[in-house]
Amino acid sequence: MKHLPLLFILSFAFTFNVSAQKKKEQDQKAIKAMCGCYEVSFNFAETFQYSEDSTYVASKTKHDKGLEWVQLVADDKDKIAMQHLLIVGSKEQPYIVKHWRQDWEFENTNLYEFNHDNKWTFVNLPKKEVKGQWTQKVFQVDDSPRYEGSATWVHVDGKSYWESTTAAPLPRREYTKRSDYNVTLRTNRHEIVESGWIHDQDNDKIIRQDAKDDVLLAQEKGYNTYVKVEDSKCIAAQEFWAKEQAKWALVRTKWDEVFARNQDLILEEKVDNKVLFKYLFDKEKYQTAEEINPLIESFVKK
């Protein structure tokens, strides 16, 4: 009889571990369900304004459509990485744009949280705080950091979704047009649905200055739908990636080395009056580590 408590504990531990493993497998399945060929609808609308300036002009409502291939580039025990490739132009002459990338890391404790003005703060979280969670790390088109957030995938009532709130730089649709705010506080919800998946966003437009409280300028709603279509519709993107993947693996490796320094990160906006992606998108140059590594390093402020 004296062994019953120990047997009970061992049985409970075994059941808990099996349940946790099944949950993780559910998570992995949901994340990888975002891969494939999608007809995408991008929708953004400014909902509320809080500016005291009577001349304030809200951002225009945006509706765009596109075809996007989401390529699985890493599928390890605790990491899944996916590269988004946007297909533009005609069916006869498609042009491929290397779009954003999202990495998912299980029970990750190291995050780079966006602060403001091209600064990211390195944060080390306690293991207990990220138990069972996945960090989504989102990267720019040049694989430089964008934003990161950690949360738990939820599978309930036939739904699978993940939701996190974190600070981010201005989106491309805004930073070339607006300079009256410098941080987007994003609530991102990724939900897997029968037709594909939904990227649902509730965003705060924030004015952030050192040693001052954040100022809320406006809010916006984002609702992007990814409707799955036959993979053959995205063959041009698949062929593009087959040619380009070796180069971008070198780029990711260099950035991984930068991130592994585990310290606050400040990036130059431009070097020699040119942004990083314009260097890396060059079809002739920056094909080797010897060219890529010093280029990326030149954008990292010491």
For residue 216, which of 61, 55, 49, 60 has the smallest C-alpha distance? 49
Residue 29 covered by a domain: no
Residue 23 covered by a domain: no
Contact at 8 Å (CB) between 182 and 215? Answer: no
Distance CA(98)–CA(84), nearest Å, equals: 7
Q: For 239-275, what is each residue's pLDDT tens digit?
A: 999 999 999 999 999 999 999 999 999 999 999 999 9
Residue 192 covered by a domain: yes
Confidence class for position 3, pLDDT limits 50, 70, 90: low
pLDDT (0 to 100) of residue 175: 86
Higher-confidence position of 229 and 173: 229
Q: What is the mean pLDDT of residues 272-286?
A: 95
Residue 67 covered by a domain: yes
pLDDT (0 to 100) of residue 108: 98
The end-to-end CA distance of the chain, in Å, is 65
pLDDT (0 to 100) of residue 12: 47
Residue 188 covered by a domain: yes
Contact at 8 Å (CB) between 186 and 147? Answer: yes
Element (H or E) spanning 23, and its range? helix 4-32
Residue 202 covered by a domain: yes
Burial of residue 59 (CB within 10 Å: 0-12, 13-18, 19+) is middle
Judge whether residue 4 has pLDDT over 80.
no
pLDDT (0 to 100) of residue 267: 98
Query: Helix, strand, or coil here: 295?
Result: helix
Task: State the total domains in the chain.
Answer: 1
Q: For 25-80, what is each residue's pLDDT tens digit?
A: 999 999 999 999 999 999 999 999 999 999 999 999 999 999 999 999 999 999 99
Judge whether residue 10 has pLDDT over 60.
no
Q: For 145-197, what is each residue's pLDDT tens digit?
A: 999 999 999 999 999 999 999 999 999 899 889 999 999 999 999 999 999 99
Q: What is the mean pLDDT of residues 142-147?
A: 98
Residue 12 covered by a domain: no
pLDDT (0 to 100) of residue 20: 87
Task: Give the domain range for residue 127.
Answer: 42-233
Q: For 72-107, what is each residue's pLDDT tens digit?
A: 999 999 999 999 999 998 888 999 999 999 999 999
Judge whether residue 17 has pLDDT over 60.
yes
Residue 260 covered by a domain: no
Q: For 122-138, what is each residue's pLDDT tens digit?
A: 999 999 999 999 999 99
Distance CA(244)–CA(239), nearest Å, equals: 9
